[in-house]
Structure 1
């Protein structure tokens, strides 16, 4: 086994992924603890050492990932690899003792985002959400149309209410968002019913359409995208298995030819 093969095995191993995940979670906990000034103040040197260790580890990890590829170009073909590289590169820039020290401290927080790439399961979820964006945008546009219609109707009928929740179009949109989140939406409905007894139809129909129907649409889109990703993942695994079988068949064919040659010689 060559050195590059060993490095590749390390990169693809489960323990390496778990180690990176554990270090990122530990670092996230340390950052949270550091915000408590009175408690964290005596441990300034310890936090500095932790920060240096994390920096070195991430640098070694990114070198391992780059070296395991056939070429550097192959490494940068993946958007996740570019994401990791940018975060590591930015945190290596010496900004602590400059006027950009606040930016340097902010950049440390983004190290926690590397958890998205450290766990394949999280990568799958993020890829799923990115893939679902076009469908989600269409649903949001349709939802905006419903909001727009209901806001105009609400402003027309309930503009005179004392609460002022329907005094103009934008305020009516915010009120509808409040109703959508079920934040004391019954109070808004009962106030409107004091003016119009039929107002419950307006609110109940909006809740059914906006909250129940559209929520289920979002869920359906995400589930559909997850099924697509799972099927693609299954296809990739099948292709890998087929490649392994093809390699085994080639080796068996070569061995048969070698055996035949040996028989001829004997």
Structure 2
């Protein structure tokens, strides 16, 4: 069971699974292209068999050898040898048929076949990026929700700490100003002054915290939004 868990959590196997699923999703489009390629190959096999069997019997003597030769031409492997053999036999115009076959079969159909795979892989990569962005946005949202849920308990703790701080501040004022001739009213004014300074510092900290939370929420919204580019262009 531990071995299966290791394989399950392996990113390499996840990438292989994504490649395999992308190939399966591309079968319909690639199947149509393969049918076109085979049909075009069969048509040109008949043409080469009828026109150039006498010029190059080894390559165009029967349908099997003709199809094999055309598959070799599809890979552009030694296609010049095919041309030179027929040209030396007096069939120089084979270059026209070779050009038509190679241009359509290799540079159009085969390139289109690769383009379908690349396009589907790109769509899969973009989909995985969007899923990662949404997962990160959900995690940030959950963390913010937990912080807001813990806010009442933190407020009670802050109130208790504030009462303790007030007691501690009054004791410090009494000890520090005990040798001076300060009236109780003056001590209370000093206490209120220190209390105001502490409240200003606390409110400044709360403001900075709320500003940070608001900035993270806006960043999460733009990362999770599927119309991010449109919204940015509208803002500009």
TM (normalized to structure 2)?
0.57
Is the Cα contact below 8 Å between 2:55 and 2:91 reproduced in 1?
no
**Which position in structure 1 is the counterpart of 2:173?**
none
Deviation string, structure 1 residues 64-99 (Cα, Å, up to 9, x no partner): 35xxxxxxxxxxxxxx96xx9xxxxxxxxxxxxxxx
State the Cα distance separating 1:177 from its structure 2 match: 0.8
State the Cα distance separating 1:120 from its structure 2 match: 4.2
- 227 and 118 in structure 1: CA distance in 2 versus 1, 3 angstrom threshold: closer
**Which position in structure 2 is the counterpart of 1:174?**
68
Gaps of 5+ in 1: 1-58, 66-79, 85-114
**Which position in structure 2 is the counterpart of 1:205?**
100
**Which position in structure 2 is the counterpart of 1:253?**
148
Q: What is the Cα-based RMSD across aligned positions, in Å?
A: 3.0
State the Cα distance separating 1:244 from its structure 2 match: 0.6
Name which structure has the greater RCO, CA cutoff 8 Å, separation 6+: 2
State the Cα distance separating 1:234 from its structure 2 match: 0.9
For residues 176 and 209 of structure 1, the distance between their equivalents in structure 2, rounded to whole angstroms, comes to: 12
Other structure's SS at 2:76 match:
coil
Gaps of 5+ in 2: 164-236
Deviation string, structure 1 residues 205-259 (Cα, Å, up to 9, x no partner): 2111222223321331122112111111111111111211221122122112334
Q: Residue 159 in 1 paired to residue 53 in 2?
A: yes
For residues 140 and 93 of structure 2, the distance between their equivalents in structure 1, rounded to whole angstroms, comes to: 70
**Which position in structure 1 is the counterpart of 2:131?**
236
State the Cα distance separating 1:199 from its structure 2 match: 1.2
State the Cα distance separating 1:143 from its structure 2 match: 0.6
For residues 254 and 179 of structure 1, the distance between their equivalents in structure 2, rounded to whole angstroms, comes to: 70
State the Cα distance separating 1:148 from its structure 2 match: 1.3
Alignment of 1:132-151 (within 5 A): 132-151=26-45
TM (normalized to structure 1)?
0.52
- 256 and 165 in structure 1: CA distance in 2 versus 1, 3 angstrom threshold: same
Is the Cα contact below 8 Å between 2:83 and 2:94 reproduced in 1?
yes
State the Cα distance separating 1:119 from its structure 2 match: 4.7
